[in-house]
Amino acid sequence: MSSFQFLYPQMLWLIVPAIGILFWLATSHSSSEIIASHLAKALGQSNSQGRNLYWLSPLFLLTIIALAGPSFGNAQKPGAQSANARVLVLDMSQSVYATDIKPTRLAQIRYKALDILPLFAQGQTGLVAYAGDAYTLSPLTTDAATLANAIQYLSPEIMPFQGARADLAVKQAVDLMEQAGMSQGEILLFADGLSTNESKQIQKQLSKTGFTLSILAFGSQSGALSH
């Protein structure tokens, strides 16, 4: 069932000056009467000003209501209309220095993230990096150039804490979208591996949300030593 509401309720304040104008016209009309009404009728004079007030009142009211924008549907907030929201989550643990894929896993993560950015023609994109903890590098934005610039300079060296906590990064991504008013969206996780504990925690975090997870894995089956 649709709910009634005004899109611009502040316009209803115009009723106050409208009442003032009508009151002034009414009192002005009363004070200007110099011929008694029964004499005016006898003389064939019509009370035109009274009739004017009679139709001006509903006209003022209808005009103000129209300006207030009556609506029988809920107006959606522009920021929450798009379901095309996603967060890129990039692994910046020390293991991405491995060279089992050339030139390194780190370089491939960067390349793939930069390649995928132009595909997001609609909606907003956020950026999270993680190692021993998760860090928001960009909130949801449509500025692909800013995201690309941040991705180009990502490396494990800028991470304050070493480790690999993809679960914390996924939680950070969920928080980003929820804070932006999103109830659904996609998380793209660029990682070279997940521990059993990370996987369990991620599954638990996403189980009661409308967010989906896609994992882009980097590495070979044989693995490699990190530098």
The answer to whether 165 and 133 are in contact (CB under 8 A) is: yes
| Spans of the chain, pLDDT less than 70 | 1-8, 28-56, 60, 71-83, 222-227
Q: Rounded CA gap, 157 and 155, in Å?
A: 5
- Other beta carbons less than 10 A from residue 129's beta carbon: 25
Q: What pLDDT is stored for residue 17 in this prediction?
A: 78
Residue 62 has what pLDDT? 78
Per-residue confidence (pLDDT) for residue 122, from 0 to 100: 87
Query: In Å, how far are 99, 118, 173, 184, 209 from 206, measured between CA atoms?
Result: 32, 26, 11, 11, 5
pLDDT at 43 (0 to 100): 43
Of all helices (H) and strands (E), which one includes residue 139?
Answer: strand 134-141
Q: pLDDT at position 83, please? A: 57
- The predicted structure's pLDDT at residue 226: 43
Report the predicted TM-score, pTM, of the whole model to 2 decimal places: 0.64
Phi-psi region of 185 (alpha: psi -120 to 50; beta: other; left: phi over 0): left
| pLDDT value for 145 | 93
Give CA–CA dist 179/165, Å, rounded: 22
The pLDDT value recorded for residue 49 is 52
Contact call for residues 192 and 218 (beta carbons, < 8 A): yes
pLDDT of residue 77: 45
* Beta-carbon count within 10 A of 86 CB: 22
Cβ pair 165, 198 in contact under 8 A = yes
Q: Is 85 exposed, middle or buried (0-12, 13-18, 19+ CB in 10 A)?
A: buried
Q: What are phi and psi of 42, to 5 degrees?
A: -65, -35
1 alpha carbon, distance to own chain's centre: 25
Burial 151-174, CB ≥16 within 10 A → b, else e: beebebeebeeeebbbbbbbbbbb
Task: Give the separation between CA 20 and CA 38, rounded to whole angstroms.
Answer: 29
Residue 154, both tokens: 């990502």
